[in-house]
Every structure is written in structure tokens, then in C-alpha cells.
Amino acid sequence: MRKVSCIISTAVGVALTVGGSVGVGYAQEDQQESKPVIPTLLIKGEVVSLDANDPTATLLTVKDRYGFETPIFLTPETKISQGDEALATQDLTSQTAVEVEYTFDINTAKRHALSVKVAESNPAVTQASMPVTPQQGTSTETAPATEPAPSMTPASDESSATQAPIEGEPASAQ
């Protein structure tokens, strides 16, 4: 009986040793094959400025619909396009509507653009530059001036003003 338990414990020990080393080998292979996943972010807005003073990357500042300005670095690998047409960095002018896909590097706290898509038509510029003309059949008269609302008196004052005087009491002057 003692020999049987000794043989079983030895077999289990060998199996764990071999299985454990094989499992570690698989884990190391999985780590080597997979690259870290870097999430991409998206911002839509208009170009505020383009600063090419940094020799490593151009700094693009984009203002979103809430008015926040976000600095994003454009690298030589950044793809700039309008529809199917490729554009140069110099084509990004102030107030151009853009959609920028970028990554955020937590080590340097910088945003790096992967792609910049220029809007097909720039609605901000188009609407602002179009003159406003009245449509046919509409009046060009101005709206009537509004009058201020009558002042409200507290409910307790109104209720006392509308009550009839009680017999024997003099009426109060208002």
C-alpha cells in the first residue's frame, strides 16, 4: 500500500512539473504575439491653429462644439484627406471643419493624430457667408414689441382684497 501511494505522488509531481512548464510556455508565447492595444479617440470641430515650429511634429489645435481647444500632434504618418483626395498639412486652414482620429500617449500626455478628415462642405463658413433673404410669401415686418407681464401680488393680499367686510367692522382703505 505504501509503495502504491509513493508511486502515485511521484506521478502527480512529474505531471505538475511538466504541465506547469508547458503552461508557462504558452503564456509567454501569447504575450509575445499580441501587441498592446492602443485605443483611438475621435474629435470633431474646426481648426483653430496650425503650428509647424516643432521639428518633430506639427501641432494642430481643434476647437470642438463646446468651445474646448484640443492640441493634437501631426506626424509624417498622419493621413490628411478630404473625401478620397489626399491633402497636405498646409491645406488645413483656420475654421476648416475637421474630424481627427488620434491616440493619447499617457507617458507624455500628448495626442498623436492617425488621420485628419476635412469635411466635404464647410457648413460654418457656408452659412455665415450666405446673405439672409426673406422667402417668398413671408412678411418682412418686425415682430410686435412685447409688454412686460403684470406684477403678481402675493395670494394673501388678493384674498383679503376680495373678501367682503364682516358686519360691524369698518371697511379697510385700499
Per-residue pLDDT of the chain (174 residues; tens, 9 = 90+): 555 555 555 555 554 454 444 444 444 555 556 677 788 999 999 999 999 888 888 999 999 999 999 999 999 999 999 999 999 988 899 999 999 999 999 999 999 999 999 998 654 444 444 444 455 555 556 666 667 666 666 555 555 555 555 666 666 555
> Given this model, what pLDDT does residue 128 score?
44
Domain range annotation of the chain: 41-126
> Given this model, what pLDDT does residue 37 score?
78
Residue whose entry in the numeric block shows the C-alpha cell 474629435: 43
The closest of 137, 116, 27 to 72, measured between CA atoms, is: 116
Output the nine-digit C-alpha cell for 174: 385700499
Start-to-end Cα distance in the chain: 115
Does the global pTM surpass 0.75? Answer: no
The closest of 18, 23, 24, 89 to 60, measured between CA atoms, is: 89
> Given this model, what pLDDT does residue 136 score?
54
CATH number of 41-126: 2.40.50.140
Contacts of 174 (CB under 8 A, 6+ apart): 161
